[in-house]
Structure 1
Amino acid sequence: MKNVYFLHTCIAYILFLIAFILQSIPWPQNIYFLKPSWVYLVYSCLVVIFPEKVNIGTGFTLGIILDLFVGSKLGIQAFLLTILSYLIIIKLQWFRKVSLFKKTCLMSFFLFLIKFIIFSYIYLTNYITFQISYFGNILTDIVLWPWIFAVIKKIFVFFKIINRY
């Protein structure tokens, strides 16, 4: 039992490290609006799979690290990751019962809500104009979320940490 918990923790840390590395890779300016939110995607998948181990406190810690990593105002990403985990945990029983398509639809709504909160905060603190390209990465997130969810789930099944559900 102790080895399974240690293995789960190591895999989660490695996945978060990969997500942070992918988040920091620079993209060309003309397609930057398609850059996915890797940390949000990996974190949301792990909250769905392991809500008892990857929870609101983990989201807050990752958010603080992400704030320091990307240079945003301290606490914004932490607040948003805690909101995301709270929304997922509220709908967790529903998440366990429905198909991957419905999970993706609800997750896309959650990610749009998070992105809208970020936009509202930036709009209120700094004057920016609305551009539809600001929400372009949501399309990339919608396409990538089921794939990342399936890959993470297969990793945990491969190491016999979870059974298929």
Structure 2
Amino acid sequence: MQNEQKRGTWLIVLSLLIALILTVIPLPQSWQPFRPDWLFLVLAYWVVALPHRIGLLWAFIWGLVFDALLGTVLGLHSFSLCILVFILQLNFQRIRIYPIWKQALTMGGLSLIYLALVLWLSRITGSPESVLSYWFSAMVNMLLWPWLFILLRDLRRYFRVA
């Protein structure tokens, strides 16, 4: 029974590592405002799909790794991801039954909350970010969610991650 519960952890970790890699891949300066928040999207999928396994501890740890990777204030993304994972854990059953377009709208709204938290915390800590680029990213997250959802769902089913 213990092995059955831990099955597929490698796929979750691998998908989160790929999200981190996609975050730091250089883009042309004109494309920077449209960079999606890969870590948020992948973590949101796993929280909605497996809320009994992926929770606040995962968000906290991966947020710290994300902060260290980007060189931001330690805990900035970690706090923001924890808030969003908490919201997702409270509403995962509702989000699951939504059609894919409504899930995308929900993820767009949650992306706005996540980006507002990151922007607010970065301003408090003294490292202001450009405001305009954050809002385009939420739109890209919303458009990217259905494709990412289908890809990760199919991978989860193929490798029988439970």
CA distance in 2, matches of 1:42, 1:131: 23
CA distance in 2, matches of 1:107, 1:113: 10
DSSP 3-state at the match of 1:36: coil
CA distance in 2, matches of 1:128, 1:96: 36
- Name the structure 2 match of 1:9: 9
Task: Could you tell me which runs of 5 or more consecutive residues in structure 1 were left unpaired when the two chains were aligned.
Answer: none
Is 1:50 the counterpart of 2:76? The answer is no
Deviations 1:12-39 (A, max 9, x none): 1111111111111011111111111111
- Name the structure 1 match of 2:60: 60
Aligned-pair identity (%): 26
Alignment of 1:1-165 (within 5 A): 1-126=1-126, 128=128, 131-161=131-161
Deviations 1:37-66 (A, max 9, x none): 111111001101011111111100100111
Q: What letter corresponds to residue 36 of structure 1 in structure 2?
A: P
DSSP 3-state at the match of 1:136: helix
Task: Could you tell me which runs of 5 or more consecutive residues in structure 2 were left unpaired when the two chains were aligned.
Answer: none
TM-score (norm 2): 0.91
Moved more, 152-161 or 70-79: 152-161
DSSP 3-state at the match of 1:161: coil
CA distance in 1, matches of 2:26, 2:55: 29
Residues 8 and 160 in structure 2, CA contact (< 8 A), matched pair in contact too: no
CA distance in 2, matches of 1:124, 1:49: 34
Moved more, 65-74 or 152-161: 152-161
Two-structure CA RMSD over aligned residues (Å)? 1.9
Shift of 1:108: 0.9
CA distance in 1, matches of 2:149, 2:129: 34
DSSP 3-state at the match of 2:8: helix
CA distance in 2, matches of 1:131, 1:84: 20
DSSP 3-state at the match of 2:124: helix
